[in-house]
Amino acid sequence: MTNLSLTQQRLELGVLEFYIVTAARYSELVLSLLAFVAVGLVVGLNLSSYHLKELLVCWLWFSIGFVSLAFAILAVVLAYYAGKYLMHCANAAVRVIARAAQRSAKPT
C-alpha cells in the first residue's frame, strides 16, 4: 500500500510539473504574440493617430487582464496541489507521532 501511495504521489508531482511547464510555455507564446502584434500596429499605422492610441490602450488593458487571469489560475492550481501535499505530510506526521506514543507507552 505504501508503494502505491508513493507512486501516486510521484504521479501527482509529475502532473504538477507538467502543468507548470505547460503554463510557462503558453505564457511565453502569448507574450511573444502580443509583442509582435504591438510592434506590427506601431510600424503599420501612424503613431500619432488617435485610433491607434486608443487601440494600444485597449490592447494594454486586455493584455494585463489576460496575464493576471492566467497567473490567478496558475496560483489556484498550485495552491490545490500544495494543500494536497501538505495534507499528505500532516497525515504521515500524525501516524509517526501516534506510533512513537504507542512505543513510549509500552512497558519494557
Please write the tens of the pLDDT for every residue from 75-88.
999 999 888 888 98
**Cα–Cα distances in Å, from 101 out to 93, 96, 105, 106, 108?**
12, 9, 6, 9, 14
Q: How far apart are CA 88 and CA 85, in angstroms?
A: 5
8-26 mean pLDDT? 68
Q: Which pLDDT tens digit goes with each residue over 48-71?
A: 677 777 887 888 888 888 888 988
pLDDT at 44: 67
pLDDT at 11: 58
The alpha carbons of the chain give a radius of gyration, in whole angstroms, of 25
75 class by beta-carbon count within 10 Å (0-12 exposed, 13-18 middle, 19+ buried): exposed
pLDDT at 99: 85
Model confidence band, residue 1 (pLDDT cutoffs 50, 70, 90): very low
